[in-house]
Structure 1
Amino acid sequence: MDWQIEAKRLLRAEMVRMGVSVNDLAEALASVGMDESPKSLAVKISRGKFQLAFFLQCMSALGVESVTVTLPKSKPTSFM
C-alpha cells in the first residue's frame, strides 16, 4: 500500500467533490491564517507527503465536517 497515494487521493477527492481548485484551496487556507501559494500547494498535494494536521486544516478551510476513510483489508496483526 502506497500511503502517500492514498493521502493524495483522499484530499483530491474532497476537492473534486466540492468543485474546489488548488487556487480556491490556497485562498481558503489563507482565510484561516495559512499562507500557502497555489504552486507550493499543488506540489505538496501532488507528492502526497503531508501531515495529517495539514489535511485537517484543508478540510476545515473547505468547511468539510467529516471524511470517510476506507482502508484496504490487511492481515490481522497481533499487538501482544
Structure 2
Amino acid sequence: MPDQNEWETKAANLLKAELKRQGVTYAGLVDKLETIGISEKEVNVRNKLSRGKFTAAFLLQCLEAIGSSQLRLD
C-alpha cells in the first residue's frame, strides 16, 4: 500500500497532467484561479505542486478554474 508521500506525489502528478492536457501554465493557472476569486502567487502554486502538499479544496479549485469536467486517475 502506498505511503503518504506516494499519495502526495500521485495527487501532484494528477494535477500537473491535467494542466498539461488543458495547456495551462502555472502563470495561467494563477490567472484562472483569480477569475474564480482565489488569490495565489505563481511561486506558491509551483511550490505546492512540487511538494505535493495541497488540500483537496485547492485541487478542486484548480480543476474548476481550468475547466476540467472529468479527471483521469490512471
* TM-score normalised by the chain length of structure 1: 0.83
Q: Which runs of 5+ in 1 are unaligned?
A: 71-80
| Higher helix content, 1 or 2 | 2
- CA shift digits 1:35-58 (9 cap, x unpaired): 001011100111101111110110
The runs of 5 or more residues in structure 2 that have no matched partner are none
Figure out how many residues of one structure are paired with residues of the other and give that number: 70
Q: Distance in 2 between matches of 1:21 and 1:53?
A: 20
Normalised by the length of structure 2, the TM-score is 0.89
Whether 1:9 and 2:13 are equivalent positions in the alignment is yes
Question: Between Structure 1 and Structure 2, whose CA radius of gyration is higher?
Answer: 1
Aligned-pair Cα RMSD in Å: 0.8
Query: Which residue of 22, 40, 43 corresponds with 2:44?
Result: 40
Q: Higher relative contact order at CA 8 Å, sep ≥6: structure 1 or structure 2? A: 2
Equivalent-residue separation in structure 1 for 2:39 and 2:60 (angstroms): 15
